[in-house]
Amino acid sequence: MSVSSLLPRLAGHGHAELPLAVLAARMKHGVVILDHGACVRFCNRAFLRMLGCGDADVTGRPVVELLHADSREAFLARWQERRHGATQSYTMQWRRADGQSVVARVEPLPLFSDSGEFDGSLALVEDVSDQRRFDEELATARAIIEKTSMVMYRARLEDGLPIEFVSGNVAYFGYLTESLTSGLVGFADIVHPADAQRVLDELHRHVVAGDREFTQHYRVRTGSGETLWVEDRAYLRDAVAGGSVCLEGIVSDVTERHSAELRLRRVLTQTIGAIAATIDKRDPYTAGHQRRVANLARAIGARLGLGADRLEGLYLGALVHDVGKLAIPVDILTRPGPLSAEEFALVKTHVKAGVEVLRDVDFPWPITDMIAQHHERLDGSGYPAGLAGEAIGLEARIIAVADVFESMSTHRPYRAALGRDAALEELARGQLTQFDLTVVDACRTLLASHAGDLNSFWKSLEPPLAAPGAGAEPAAAQDRGRD
């Protein structure tokens, strides 16, 4: 088909040929017809919009005048190839009427006369400037990422989490892209065995909860056998086809940050231990109370399924839940017999005093909340704020139960130990109204699983390296307020 045979149809001459003109006019991409000398014979409105020109500014002009100077030589080479029937697409930089440039992809179709002579070309011209900028920005981002430890990946949400894509800088962790995408190296080879099940369980919980974005921290084994901590910022994406779900993410090495956090936590733990030891020395009669409460609280928390990090915070909070006793005269705390109303009111101020002592410490756990709430009760009858129900944190509810049990079941200078059964009866009377039923049940289960006496029970709760601590906790009714 030649240019001369196309033009009348595209111009709309004749009833049967009109749809061709309409088609060109409605196309979102440019349509341009060049004669055998590469001059514009026809173009549609999309082409004119792309160049910001009118029809009179374009029709009849050599197409090279519409191209950016950097693309003219390349076009002439392509034009010679087109004279011999070449149809490969290519990208050219065009010059707009306002002087700006636009990058467009050209899909050419050479046209020949009935005698086989080259007679010009028809081409579809698509503005790809935005795509070009996106590709350039993406290439820049990839170049930056390739120089860091931030590894991008995509895996199918299936058994074994097969990897479909991983950025080349996975070499930072000692692996080859091909080994991962081929399945030669998989999830079980990379994630540390001690963390693998936890990672999968957390991932399952996020999927069930409908979370589309989440972060996980775990250890990985490098290709050389080294262990590193990583942060995995993951995203769930619906696959385009097949209805499957993909897990995409950015994994970065946070080993140094993790080590710094461990050092900080170690300092905080030692500080809390020193505070607890100070309370012990000040009040030797009840030495060990805070440690026993902390150990029991941690055991209850574990029974309730709390994670390791939350259990650590619970233990440390319980270890200093009575830090405010430093503001109460020792003779009141250890005095035999009942206290006066004024003395009892003074004892109750230890909660707010404890909060004041630690309020400016930036703990990674809600320790000040545990101190502030461990005397609150579900029915609102506690102190100092009269909180009720879910307004009381779970850690504080656990410490409350451990505190009451330890206080009633052990000896105090102002009364003999009331014993295990009496302590359990007190908790049973207050479950649902004052104490969390699930916490009381967990405490009861722990005691039922230990057939020995209370001394051996307390020893069984001690960690391999017992942390220092102490405190005081009187028994039922007014005695418990003396804590």
Instruction: Give the predicted TM-score (pTM) of the model.
Output: 0.56
Is 143 domain-assigned?
no
- Return the H-helix or E-strand segment holding 323: none
Q: Last residue of some domain: 253, 276, 307?
A: 253
Report the alpha-carbon distance of residue 218 to residue 221 in Å, rounded: 10
Is 423 domain-assigned?
yes
Report the alpha-carbon distance of residue 210 to residue 236 in Å, rounded: 9
Q: What is the pLDDT, as a whole number, of residue 241?
A: 53
Name the one residue in this structure whose structure tokens are 């049967």. Answer: 16
Burial class from Cβ neighbours inside 10 Å (0-12, 13-18, 19+) for residue 47 reads buried
Secondary structure class of 44 (helix, strand, coil): coil
Residue 279's closest CA among 291, 267, 262, 296? 291
| Mutual angle of helices 289-303 and 255-282, in 10-degree steps | 140
Secondary structure class of 107 (helix, strand, coil): strand
Most distant CA pair in the chain, distance: 123
pLDDT digits (tens, 9 = 90+) for 8-30: 444 444 444 445 566 767 788 89
Higher-pLDDT residue of 213 and 411 is: 213
What stretches of 125-254 show up as alpha helix (H) in DSSP?
129-146, 177-181, 187-190, 193-209
Q: Last residue of some domain: 253, 280, 315?
A: 253
Is 134 domain-assigned?
no
- CATH number, domain containing residue 424: 1.10.3210.10
Q: What percent of the chain has pLDDT over 90?
A: 50
pLDDT digits (tens, 9 = 90+) for 300-343: 999 999 988 899 999 999 999 988 888 888 888 777 777 888 88
Residues 173 and 314 in one domain: no
Residues 43 and 180 in one domain: no
Residues 434 and 357 in one domain: yes
Q: Tell me, what amino acid is at 257? A: R
Is 10 domain-assigned?
yes
Whether omega before 364 lies within 30 degrees of 0, making that bond cis, reads no
Name 159's Cβ contacts closer than 8 Å, sequence gap at least 6.
none
Name 92's Cβ contacts closer than 8 Å, sequence gap at least 6.
67, 68, 71, 74, 75, 103, 104, 106
Q: How confident is the model at residue 223 (pLDDT cuts 50, 70, 90)?
A: very high
Q: What is the pLDDT, as a whole number, of residue 364?
A: 85
Q: Which phi and psi (to 5°) does residue 125 adopt?
A: -120, 120
Q: Last residue of some domain: 220, 253, 286?
A: 253
Q: How confident is the model at residue 83 (pLDDT cuts 50, 70, 90)?
A: very high
- CATH number, domain containing residue 238: 3.30.450.20
Report the alpha-carbon distance of residue 408 to residue 422 in Å, rounded: 7
pLDDT digits (tens, 9 = 90+) for 102-135: 999 999 999 998 889 999 999 999 998 887 777 7
Report the alpha-carbon distance of residue 424 to residue 441 in Å, rounded: 10
Q: What is the pLDDT, as a whole number, of residue 4?
A: 57
Residues 25 and 120 in one domain: yes
pLDDT digits (tens, 9 = 90+) for 129-145: 887 777 776 676 666 66
Residues 290 and 235 in one domain: no
Whether 470 and 290 have beta carbons less than 8 Å apart is answered as yes
Is 18 domain-assigned?
yes
Q: How confident is the model at residue 454 (pLDDT cuts 50, 70, 90)?
A: confident
Residue 472's closest CA among 315, 316, 290, 332? 290
Report the alpha-carbon distance of residue 232 to residue 220 in Å, rounded: 11
Is 140 domain-assigned?
no
Residues 264 and 284 in one domain: yes
CA angle 88, 94, 95 (to 5 degrees): 165
Q: What is the pLDDT, as a whole number, of residue 174?
A: 92
Structural domain boundaries enclosing 210: 148-253
Number of independent structural domains in the chain: 3
Is 135 domain-assigned?
no
Q: What is the pLDDT, as a whole number, of residue 6?
A: 55
Residues 414 and 275 in one domain: yes
Residues 317 and 199 in one domain: no
Residues 349 and 310 in one domain: yes
Mean pLDDT throughout 378-404?
95
Higher-pLDDT residue of 239 and 55 is: 55
Q: Tell me, what amino acid is at 357? A: V
Mean pLDDT throughout 399-406?
94
Residues 338 and 195 in one domain: no
Report the alpha-carbon distance of residue 253 to residue 125 in Å, rounded: 46
Secondary structure class of 8 (helix, strand, coil): helix
Residues 329 and 460 in one domain: yes
Residues 235 and 282 in one domain: no
Q: What is the pLDDT, as a whole number, of residue 463?
A: 77
Is 110 domain-assigned?
yes
